[in-house]
Amino acid sequence: MLKNNLLDNILLYSSLESTNNTAKSLILSGATHGTVILADSQTKGRGRYNRSFFSPPGHGIYMSIVLQLAKSHLRNHLNLVTLATAVAVCESIEATTEKVPQIKWVNDIFLHQRKVSGILTEKMVDKENIPWIIIGIGINFSTPKDAFPAEIKDTAGSIFLEDTPTITRNQLIAEIINHLLSPYHRTTQEILSEYKKRMMLIGKETLITGSGNPFKGTILGVDEEGCLVVLKENDQQISLSVGEIWQ
């Protein structure tokens, strides 16, 4: 159940182009810290690198949460917002189901080697030049395997892909909101620890792209700023704030 003081800040829509886009408009028109935007479907859902996020009605969770940076305990560690959100989504799935998700750095949640969720965090300023962060979360809750477009059907999955849901979308939504807007704030070390425990591919050699020329390296974890720590083939250890990893 949602905590009572959160209920007034939840806005529900049957369909939106993008919950993050609506969040931006609401910030400019006077949204309050902690406002949550929920849509049953998105016509132009998007993720990292402006990729589209398949958002059909009835089967997914598409939400954005707006936070005023001055009121966020992560305001001095902006890169950690995505990591903290990934942890919150994983913990919420774990708390409400018997499933054990993993995180592919930096913003993707996987179950059984299939992507079930993506996170998109964006920063903006309002008309008074006050900085805000928008946390966008897309989750494939019960999207059937044959419903995914051809280009992602081999890599996309759902929390309940072939089994009957044991919870409702609303129950998982409530768990995520309570995690992210809890009055208890974790330390940076706590967030990093929980994130590392769920990271995919640690200790494995992968291909890294999007940070210059593609190269192979072994994933070691994340550093204090949430950057990916990689050991290159020449034994040089580096930290990356951008890029993608491929097994």
- The topology (CATH level 3) of 4-197 is BirA Bifunctional Protein; domain 2 (3.30.930)
Domain range list for the chain? 4-197, 205-246
Task: Give tens-digit pLDDT for 100-158.
Answer: 999 999 999 999 999 999 999 999 999 999 999 999 999 999 999 999 999 999 999 99
**Residue 51: pLDDT band with limits 50, 70, 90:** confident
Q: Domain 205-246 has what CATH class?
A: mainly beta
Q: Please say if the pLDDT value at position 88 is more than 90.
A: yes
**Residue 78: pLDDT band with limits 50, 70, 90:** low
The pTM (predicted TM-score) of the whole model is: 0.94
**Residue 2: pLDDT band with limits 50, 70, 90:** low
pLDDT of residue 49: 72
Query: Cis omega (within 30 of 0) on the bond before 66?
Result: no
How many distinct helices (H) and strands (E) make up the chain? 4, 12
Map tokens 């964006």 to a residue. Answer: 122
CB atoms within 10 A of CB 159: 26
- Rounded-to-integer distance, Cα 24 and Cα 132, Å: 9
